[in-house]
Amino acid sequence: MNYAWLRNWQALPQGCATPAETAREELRLAGLDAGLREDAALGEGWEIVEEGGRPVVHGGSRGLLYGAYALMAARKTGLCLPRGVQQPRYTLRMIDCWDNPDGTIERGYAGRSLWFEGGRMAWQPERIAQLGRMLASVGLNVLCINNVNVGEEGARLITEDLPELARLAAAFRPFGVRLMVSIDFSQPLRYGVETADPLSPAVLAWWTARADAVWAAIPDFAGFLVKADSEHRPGPMTYGRSHAEGANMLARALAPHGGVLVWRAFVYNCLQDWRDTHTDRPMAAYETYAPLDGQFDDNVILQVKNGPFDFQVREPISPTFWAMPHTRLALEVQLAQEYTGQQIDLYAMNPMWREWQTELPVSLPAAVAAVSNLGRDENWCGHPFAAVNLYGFGRYAWDPEVSPEEVIRTWARLTYALPENQEDALCLMLLNSRSIYEQYTAPLGIGWMITPHNHYGPDPWGYEYSPWGTYHRADRSGIGIDRTEKGTGFTRQQPPEIAAKYADPAVCPDEQLLFYHRLPWDYVMRDGRTLARRILDDHREGVERVEAMAAVLRELELPEPDRSVALSRMERQLQNAANWRDIISDFVTRLSGVC
């Protein structure tokens, strides 16, 4: 079995109960002469010191495991170990799986679920252990196993299917990975409670009893994740209650067990009339949550998507991050490349996450979560290179300031044993992959020209008359939406120093120009080209850059089956890029008259 960046590692450890035991067994199986010294004070942190001529890992139980994996990775790659005590920046480092009990995965591009099939939980113990090892090897510590769109069967995880959930939790426990589940806010209604109103004592009693049962079965359970009042999901608004009232009710049921309640802030009007030009979807989360700052209980974490839209190739940072200083926030990113190539087109994310830090201080979120790109495919992530994002997210969650170059280099070296010049070429390809994808799909910050629903390939009119609030409003006079003070006022939600960077088209960075501004086709850009000409040129250059990547890829001596999979996916990427170029160029040419 090929397991991503841990290919060729020794046999899996067996019969371990705790991360510390796993650490000991991993070092033994790897034949590494290294010591382990448990020091609970270090918690999840670790330090490796030379004692009596051999390395000794110091750490709490999980810290020992993370340190042992760091030592093993350093031995494999020849890269240096960091010095001093290593502590994670975020305590909650979570992967959110959108797996459905029928075995499908919402926005999943790597095969079927690893733990659901036919409405039940079912898994191969070997794969779960491999996954536990992979997650722990990059310090990831929480796994939410089911779709936030919880259906009838998903809701059973904390009732009828609880014994199965407990078995899965036990399988991940030796790797220090704690489970979480998504719950349905209206679930008490299915169990004879007459309402799901969060202020009803009967509702709190129902959730309290459920939480007691869950923690009795799984003492280290992490908590619940909730998508409420979002895209037709039930929530407190049905009862005229606020999201703070809804979240706090659940949080109080979890608090005695030390559980966290992760509440998603992905709320907007998904039934917008496209003729309504006043409602501006990216403003919705701020409008809903900023007034609630300070009202959430301590064990609530509000999980905010990185951008105010929805995981587009380029968006501003969600203004909600600056609006809630008295609330614990989690930054939510998406590893599944729903809008960014679906694990067919190359798209490495660490450079993008790092770039956000020019505006978003790493200390603003209290936690990080990523929508999973995992599935039952032999190579785990569909494209063999898509695993760089799972690996990279773990590294980022531990240390958001880690350099993308280092992350990609280490992943490449752990995964393959390529000659140096080929490893360099692979790393460069991945480092540039996001900017290339952006150039052939959505240059200048114009989003939502993607094919509706399946979100792969171009369809510039596709979302224009839809209810989803995702419009570019292109016509003969120009393209884009004015989101400044003179327009929808989105910039008023941003800190003034950030708004100032974007509010004037003359200074606004090109990458975000059409998110913030509506401009005529003959608008003259800073480089002297008209807007229309620049869009046409970008799409053409984007395709040329994919062609150059394809040429590099063909020369890489990758092992099989990775080589064949990567090459065949590159053919699809070439086709996709050409489609984007041709369809968007035709669209722009017809509207603008430029050719």
Q: Which residues bind ligand GCV (CB under 6 A)?
A: 98, 106-107, 148-149, 227, 231, 266, 310
Nearest in space to 278 (alpha carbons), one of 487, 470, 499, 491: 487
Would residue 160 show up in a list of annotated catalytic residues for this protein? no
Min. distance of Cβ 469 from ligand GCV in angstroms?
Answer: 11
What does the angle CA 328 – CA 330 – CA 335 come to, to the nearest 5 degrees?
175
d(CA 531, CA 521): 5
CB closer to ligand GCV, 9 vs 98: 98
Residues 25, 26, 99, 310: which is the catalytic one?
Answer: 310
Specify whether the CB–CB gap between 211 and 162 falls below 8 A: no
Min. distance of Cβ 266 from ligand GCV in angstroms?
Answer: 5
Q: Which DSSP category does 556 fall into?
A: -
User: Side-chain half-sphere of 325: how many Cα atoms within 13 Å?
Assistant: 2
d(CA 428, CA 559): 19
CB closer to ligand GCV, 452 vs 489: 452
Min. distance of Cβ 339 from ligand GCV in angstroms?
Answer: 8
Specify whether the CB–CB gap between 542 and 439 falls below 8 A: yes
Would residue 338 show up in a list of annotated catalytic residues for this protein? yes
Q: DSSP secondary structure string, 332-372?
A: EEESS-TTTTTTTS----HHHHHHHTTTS-TTS-SEEEEE-
CB closer to ligand GCV, 107 vs 156: 107
Min. distance of Cβ 227 from ligand GCV in angstroms?
Answer: 5
Residues 338, 377, 538, 562: which is the catalytic one?
Answer: 338
Would residue 38 show up in a list of annotated catalytic residues for this protein? no
CB closer to ligand GCV, 20 vs 301: 301
CB closer to ligand GCV, 59 vs 236: 236
Nearest in space to 256 (alpha carbons), one of 221, 306, 304: 221
Min. distance of Cβ 263 from ligand GCV in angstroms?
Answer: 13
CB closer to ligand GCV, 161 vs 310: 310
Give residues with Cβ within 8 angstroms of 490, minimum separation 6. Answer: 280, 282, 283, 308, 319, 483, 484, 516
Residues 126, 160, 231, 522: which is the catalytic one?
Answer: 231
d(CA 294, CA 555): 56
Min. distance of Cβ 304 from ligand GCV in angstroms?
Answer: 11
Element holding 59 (H helix, E strand): strand 54-59
As annotated, the active-site residues are 231, 310, 338
